[in-house]
C-alpha cells in the first residue's frame, strides 16, 4: 500500500520514523510519500520540502509566514491528490496537517485520513476535536486518557502507547564516558538545558534559561550545563550560547544526547514531549514556557487545566514544578532548580511520578510504532 505522511517538527519526525518501521514490518511493499525530517527520510521518505519550514508555534510566530505556509498547504494537498495514496496520515502539527486534510477531503472524500497524536483538547479548545472529526476518520493517541475524548467527537481512536516508554536509554557507563569526554568531575552536578526544538522557542526562552542557570551556578558553583539540540536550530543555538556566561556544552549527535541524559542530575526544559524523555531517564526537572504576548493572552484565556506538563498529567500528580507565561522568569526557575537538585523529598516525588508515567504510557509493552501501524492498517481496511 501507499502511505502519505506529514510531520512538521522533530518529535513528529521521530513518531513518523517509528510508524514507517512498523508499517514496513506489516506491509513489506509499503511506499512512503510526504513531508518529514531526517528520521523519516532515513526510512526512505522523499520530503516535498524541508520539514523545519513548519516548525512554528503560536499565533504571533505564524503570522509573518502565513502566506508561505498557505502555499505549502496547497502544494501538499495537491501532492496527496496526485499520489492517490491508500491513506493520509498527519503527525502532530495540527495547524498544518488538518488544513491539508480539509483540502484533500473536499476533493477525495473517499480517502481514509488518520491523525497521529490527539489534539490536547483536555488542555484547551475542546471543540477542536469536533472540528477535526469533519476531516479525520481515525486518531492514534499517545496518552491513555485521550481515546474517549476523540470517540465522543465522532472519530475512532486507539491508544498506541508513547515511544518514549519503550525507547532504550543509556546506562551509567555511557554517562561516565560522557563526563570523561567533556572533563566533568564524577561528583559535579550536570544540568541539562532544553529550551525547545523550534526557533521561536529557543529565541524566547534561551536568555531566561541562561539567567536562571547563572543564578543556580552562583549557589552551586560546581554545576556543568549541557545543551542538547536538534539540526533545525543547532546553528542558532551555537551562535546564541557563545554569548552565554554559563558556557554550556552544546551537543547535537543523538548518541551523545543519550549519553548526556544518562549523565544528568537535573534539567531545565521547555514544556513539551521532552518532559517524558526526561522521565524515562529519571531526571528531575523544572519546566518553563512562554509565547509571544498575543499568543500568551489567547492561550491563557482558553487553558482548561492547571498544568501542561505531561508527567503531571499522566501521573495525576503535580510533582514537576512549571513556570508558564509571565511566571517563566529566571528567579523562580533558579529557586525551583535548586530545590529539585538538593531536596531529597522533592526529588523522590518527581521520580515516583516519572515511574508511574512510564508504566501508564506502555513501558514493557509492544513498540508503539508497531501498535500504531496495526491501528493504521485496521483503519484502512475496517468500516468507515
Query: Tens digits of per-residue pLDDT, 265-303?
Result: 999 999 988 999 999 999 999 999 998 777 777 666 666
Among 97, 111, 89, 85, smallest CA distance to 31 is for: 85
Nearest to 378 by CA among 157, 161, 83: 157
Phi and psi at 282, nearest 5°, equal 55, 50
Asked if residues 89 and 114 have their Cβ atoms less than 8 Å apart, the reply is yes
For 52-97, the pLDDT digits (tens) are 888 654 444 555 677 888 899 999 999 999 999 999 999 988 889 9
* Mean pLDDT calculated for residue range 195-205: 89
DSSP characters for 194-217?
E--SSHHHHHHHHHHHHHHHHHHH
Hunting for cell 563526563 — which residue is that? 179
Instruction: Name beta bridge partners: 3.
Output: 32, 87
Least confident of 173-187, 190-204, 210-224, 316-330: 190-204
Closest C-alpha to 194, from 277, 256, 262, 293: 277
Sheet of 285-289: strand order equals: 249-251, 224-228, 190-194, 266-270, 285-289, 322-324
pLDDT digits 0-9 by tens, 93-146: 888 999 999 999 999 999 999 999 998 876 667 788 999 999 999 999 999 999
Distance (Å, whole) CA 134 – CA 269: 35
Neighbouring residues of 293: CB distance < 8 A, sequence distance ≥ 6: 60
pLDDT per residue over 9-32, tens digit each? 888 999 999 999 999 999 999 999
Give, in order, the Cα–Cα distances in Å from 179 to each of 226, 268, 274, 345.
11, 19, 22, 26
What are the structural domains, with CATH classification, of the chain? 2-161+364-381 (3.40.50.2000), 172-360 (3.40.50.2000)
Structure-derived torsion over alpha carbons of residues 366, 143, 369, 251, reported in degrees to the nearest 10: -110
User: Rounded to an integer, what distance in angstroms lies between the CA atom of residue 287 and that of residue 138?
Assistant: 32
Note the pLDDT of residue 60.
Answer: 43
Mean pLDDT, residues 344-367 taken together: 96
> Is there a contact between 43 and 52 (Cβ–Cβ < 8 Å)?
no
What average pLDDT does this structure show over 302-308?
77
Amino acid at each position: 500500500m501507499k502511505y502519505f505522511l506529514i510531520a512538521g517538527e522533530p518529535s513528529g519526525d521521530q513518531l513518523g520514523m517509528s510508524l514507517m518501521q512498523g508499517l514496513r514490518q506489516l506491509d513489506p511493499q509499503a511506499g512512503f510519500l510526504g513531508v518529514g525530517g531526517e528520521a523519516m527520510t532515513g526510512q526512505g521518505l522523499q520530503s516535498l520540502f524541508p520539514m523545519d519550514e513548519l516548525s512554528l508555534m503560536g499565533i504571533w510566530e505564524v503570522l509573518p509566514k502565513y502566506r508561505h505556509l498557505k502555499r505549502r498547504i496547497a502544494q501538499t494537498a495537491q501532492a496527496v491528490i496526485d499520489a492517490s495514496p491508500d491513506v493520509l496520515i498527519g503527525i502532530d502539527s495540527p495547524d498544518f496537517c488538518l488544513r491539508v486534510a480539509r483540502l484533500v477531503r473536499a476533493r477525495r472524500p473517499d480517502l481514509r485520513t488518520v491523525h497521529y497524536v490527539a489534539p490536547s483538547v483536555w488542555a484547551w479548545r475542546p471543540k477542536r476535536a469536533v472540528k477535526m472529526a469533519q476531516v479525520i476518520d481515525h486518531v492514534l493517541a499517545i496518552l491513555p486518557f485521550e481515546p474517549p475524548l476523540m470517540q465522543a467527537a465522532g472519530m475512532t481512536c486507539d491508544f498506541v502507547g508513547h515511544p518514549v516508554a519503550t525507547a532504550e536509554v543509556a546506562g551509567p557507563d555511557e554517562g561516565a564516558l560522557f563526563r570523561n569526554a567533556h572533563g566533568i568531575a564524577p561528583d559535579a552536578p550536570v544540568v541539562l538545558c532544553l529550551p525547545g526544538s523550534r526557533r521561536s522557542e529557543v529565541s524566547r526562552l534561551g536568555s531566561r534559561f541562561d539567567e536562571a542557570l547563572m543564578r543556580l551556578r552562583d549557589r552551586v558553583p560546581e554545576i556543568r550545563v549541557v545543551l542538547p539540540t536538534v539540526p533545525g536550530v543547532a546553528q542558532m543555538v551555537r551562535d546564541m550560547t557563545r554569548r552565554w556566561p554559563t558556557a554550556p556544552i552544546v551537543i547535537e549527535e543523538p548518541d551523545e544526547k543519550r549519553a548526556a541524559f544518562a549523565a544528568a542530575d537535573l534539567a531545565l526544559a521547555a514544556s513539551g514531549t521532552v518532559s517524558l524523555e526526561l522521565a524515562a531517564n529519571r531526571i528531575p526537572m523544572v519546566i518553563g514556557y512562554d509565547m509571544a504576548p498575543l499568543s500568551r493572552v489567547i492561550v491563557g484565556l482558553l487553558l482548561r487545566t492547571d498544568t501542561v506538563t505531561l508527567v503531571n498529567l499522566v501521573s495525576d500528580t503535580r510533582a514537576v514544578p512549571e513556570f508558564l507565561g509571565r511566571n517563566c522568569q529566571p528567579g523562580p526557575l533558579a529557586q525551583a532548580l535548586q530545590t529539585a537538585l538538593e531536596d531529597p523529598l522533592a526529588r523522590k516525588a518527581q521520580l515516583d511520578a516519572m515511574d508511574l508515567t512510564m508504566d501508564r504510557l506502555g513501558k514493557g509493552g509492544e513498540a508503539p510504532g508497531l501498535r500504531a501501524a496495526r491501528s493504521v492498517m485496521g483503519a484502512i481496511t475496517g468500516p468507515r
